């Protein structure tokens, strides 16, 4: 059935439909409505699983990790400082190959203190060994949470579904919510290794030798590489069940394009509107959405961008001392292409500032007319 | 596409008004998209909320800068010059006020709806929460939504005083004064 709900409530709906057995979390703006909704349902006896109200995000992830090692389907949600506090446990979860699923609501990291969208919090967790999926609207968030459990449990790696503060978390939109039986047919009951046996107590993360550590890392590396195929397969199957799918990346109007505008998350949705206007005016521009960031879809990006001479990356995050993080990743993915590309980075929407079709149009016109590409990102700042 | 901006103060039910109106449009088969901007949530502080409504899926994930419908819960928040800068031509404006004032006189080129929602809500023992009265008046001024759809949404969303709120919608609808724009 169709429901008119926020992105946060879409996450909660998906978590309940997935028959999640344990939710361990700590409230933080702008994620709190996920936690509150799940709590309401638990109090009304409508959740199915149980909530653990932990004393911190670090403990929340420790609880999810432990539950997952016991063979239980576990979920948490956080944002910003909460995710930063979890950092140590994020490595632990992926190292233990625990298929925990998390919703991360992108929010600025302090200082200064703010509540709005900025992708630097989740991107700062790039190297923790988590799968990361970036969503552009409420429906995609809902669908991606359901997909995430199957992906994570399929490759035994944790998975983060990323949604933006305000533009998704607090935007209310209609979404399609399937029936429980339909969800059950797509997502079978959890079946992951039960590594805690109460009758035969043992230690799951013992000290290992150098050689053993290297071997474990190699196994994790293979699992993450394999995740690319699994994500595609799960997404295709999701399409068969629900009539919607998303891919690792999405290309729009790249045939004959002189410029590819590369975006992620909600900027993509607004860019679809801007793109239609630009093409009407005769600009040869296409759009590429990067949905999956870890594992990075290098091969497919190289293939679809191969015939396009110019690339502009527009994003809402920053690695100080370098540039936007998707831009760096994309440059690295293209460096072994047959033909060189001109890749120009643009920063906009930082701290949740507004990215509208006018701004996107200015980026595209600049990228099309620019004679020299700058190694520095170009800031599209709001005047204040 | 309708782009609606709500101006009011914390405690008047501004955010819920935008959500209830969105739900009413949703029940009418439209695609609404609703969001609010507020920092420290406190009673009396200015609050703005926004609602887009279209027949097809709305892709824009950005702010409404130039609304074509304006709903003002507190006339003391109105600056006619500021409004003129924001809205698109032909915008209709709904204002909660108890008297014709200089402010309204200065907005006479717009079609304006005037409703004494504070008085109606007070008489129905709804306190400062005037959102349901405002939505009743909205239906009369904008004529894009039936009162019944709004009442249906109100019944689903208000946490208490359901019958009083339904009455407020009807009262708001009956008692709004419409002043046609001069151009």
Instruction: Say if B172 is an interface residue toward chain A (CB within 8 Å).
Output: no
Q: How far is CA A109 from CA A124, A206, A349, in A?
A: 10, 34, 14
C-alpha dihedral sign at A56, A126, A104, A349: positive
Task: Report CA-CA distances (Å) from A98 to A71, A83, A241, A381.
Answer: 9, 17, 26, 41
Round to whole Å and give the CA distance between A344 and A312. Answer: 5
In chain B, the residue whose alpha carbon lies closest to the alpha carbon of A168 is B61
What per-residue confidence (pLDDT) applies to B106?
86
Angle at A328 between CA A337 and CA A164, to 5 degrees: 125
pLDDT given for residue B44 in this prediction? 83
- The ipTM value here is 0.95
Considering only CB atoms, which chain B residues are within 8 Å of A168? 61
Domains of chain B: 2-179 (3.40.920.10)
State the CB neighbour count (10 A cutoff) for residue A338.
6
Cα distance between residue A293 and residue A152, in whole Å: 15
Residues of chain B with pLDDT under 50: none
What CATH architecture does domain A250-379 belong to?
A: 3-Layer(aba) Sandwich (3.40)
Same fold, A2-242 and A250-379: yes
Domain ranges of chain A: 2-242, 250-379
Along the 384 residues of chain A, how does pLDDT read in single tens digits? 999 999 999 999 999 999 999 999 999 999 999 999 999 999 999 999 999 999 999 999 999 999 999 999 999 999 999 999 999 999 999 999 999 999 999 999 999 999 999 999 999 999 999 999 999 999 999 999 999 999 999 999 999 999 999 999 999 999 999 999 999 999 999 999 998 888 888 888 889 999 999 999 999 999 999 999 999 999 999 999 999 999 999 999 999 999 999 999 999 999 999 999 999 999 999 999 999 999 999 999 999 999 999 999 999 999 999 999 999 999 999 999 998 899 999 999 999 999 999 999 999 999 999 999 999 999 998 766
Decide if A269 touches B, using CB distance below 8 A. yes
Q: Which two tokens stand for residue A214?
A: 């290297």
Whether residue B33 lies within 8 A of chain A, CB to CB, comes out as yes
Question: Which tens digits make up the pLDDT trace of B154-166?
Answer: 999 999 999 999 9
The rounded distance, in Å, linking the Cα atoms of A122 and A140 is: 18
Q: What homologous superfamily is domain A2-242 in, according to CATH? A: Thiamin diphosphate (ThDP)-binding fold, Pyr/PP domains (3.40.50.970)
**Interface probe with A: pick from B61, B66, B153, B156, most Cβ of A within 10 Å:** B61
Candidates B23, B60, B65; nearest CB to A4: B23
**Residue A137, min C-alpha distance to chain B (Å):** 8
Residue A172 to residue B59, Cβ atoms within 8 A: no
pLDDT in tens, B11-49: 999 999 999 999 999 999 999 999 987 665 677 888 999
DSSP character at residue A249: E
Reduce the secondary structure of chain B to three states and give it as a string: CEEEEEEEECCCCHHHHHHHHHHHHHHCCCEEEEEEECCCCCCCCEEEEEEEEECCCCCCCCCCCCCCEEEECCHHHCCHHHHHHHCCCCCEEEEECCCCCHHHHCCCCCEEEEECHHHHHHHCCCCCCCHHHHHHHHHHHHCCCCHHHHHHHHHHHCCCCHHHHHHHHHHHHHHCEEECCCC
Q: Which residues contact A46 (CB under 8 A, 6 or more apart)?
A: A16
Classified as helix, coil or strand, A377 is coil
Q: What is the reported pLDDT for B66?
A: 94
Q: Is B38 within 8 Å of chain A by CB? A: no
What was the pLDDT predicted at A98?
98
């Amino acid at each position: 059935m169709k429901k008119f709900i926020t992105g946060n409530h879409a996450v909660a709906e998906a978590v309940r439909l997935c028959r999640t057995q344990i939710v361990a979390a700590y409230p933080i703006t702008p994620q709190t409505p996920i936690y509150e909704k799940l709590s309401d349902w638990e109090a009304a006896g409508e959740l199915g699983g149980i909530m653990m109200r932990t004393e911190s995000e670090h403990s929340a992830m420790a609880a999810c990790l432990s539950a997952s090692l016991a063979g239980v389907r576990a979920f948490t949600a956080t944002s910003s400082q909460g995710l930063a506090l979890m950092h140590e446990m994020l490595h632990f979860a992926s190292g233990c190959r625990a298929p925990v699923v998390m919703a991360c609501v992108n929010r600025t990291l302090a200082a200064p203190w703010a509540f709005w969208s900025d992708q630097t919090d989740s991107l700062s967790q790039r190297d923790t060994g988590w799968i990361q999926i970036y969503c552009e609207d409420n429906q995609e968030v809902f669908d991606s949470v359901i997909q995430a459990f199957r992906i994570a449990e399929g490759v035994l790696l944790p998975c983060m579904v990323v949604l933006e503060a305000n533009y998704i978390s607090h935007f209310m939109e209609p979404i399609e919510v399937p029936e429980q039986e339909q969800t059950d047919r797509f997502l079978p009951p959890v079946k992951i290794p039960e590594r805690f046996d109460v009758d035969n107590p043992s230690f799951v993360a013992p000290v290992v030798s150098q050689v053993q550590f290297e071997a474990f890392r190699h196994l994790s590396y293979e699992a993450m590489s394999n995740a690319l195929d699994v994500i595609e397969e799960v997404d295709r199957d999701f399409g068969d069940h629900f009539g919607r799918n998303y891919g690792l990346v999405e290309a729009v109007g790249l045939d004959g394009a002189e410029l590819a505008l590369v975006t992620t998350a909600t900027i993509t949705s607004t860019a679809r509107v801007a793109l239609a206007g630009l093409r009407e005016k005769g600009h040869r521009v296409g759009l590429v959405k990067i949905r999956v960031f870890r594992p990075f879809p290098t091969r497919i990006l190289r293939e679809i961008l191969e015939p396009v001479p110019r690339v502009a990356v527009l994003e809402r995050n920053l690695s100080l001392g370098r540039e936007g993080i998707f831009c760096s990743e994309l440059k690295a993915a293209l460096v072994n292409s047959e033909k060189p590309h001109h890749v120009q980075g643009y920063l906009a929407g930082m701290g949740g500032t507004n990215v509208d079709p006018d701004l996107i149009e200015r980026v595209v016109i600049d990228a099309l007319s620019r004679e020299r590409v700058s190694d520095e990102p170009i800031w599209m700042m709001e005047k204040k | 596409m309708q782009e609606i901006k709500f101006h009011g103060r914390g405690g008047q039910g501004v955010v819920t008004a935008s959500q209830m109106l969105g739900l009413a449009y949703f029940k009418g088969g439209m695609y609404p998209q609703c969001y609010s901007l507020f920092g420290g949530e406190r009673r009396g502080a200015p609050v703005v909320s926004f609602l887009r409504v279209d027949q097809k899926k709305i892709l824009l994930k950005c702010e409404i800068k130039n609304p074509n419908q304006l709903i003002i819960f507190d006339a003391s928040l109105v600056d006619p010059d500021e409004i003129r800068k924001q809205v698109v031509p032909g915008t209709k404006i709904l204002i909660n006020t108890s008297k014709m004032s200089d402010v309204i006189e200065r907005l006479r080129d717009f079609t304006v709806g005037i409703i004494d929602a504070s008085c109606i809500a007070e008489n129905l023992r709804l306190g400062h929460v005037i959102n349901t009265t405002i939505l009743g008046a909205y239906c009369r001024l904008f004529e894009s939504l039936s009162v019944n759809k709004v009442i249906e949404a109100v019944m689903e969303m208000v946490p208490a005083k359901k019958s009083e709120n339904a009455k407020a919608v009807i009262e708001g609808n009956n008692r709004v004064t419409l002043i046609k724009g001069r151009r």
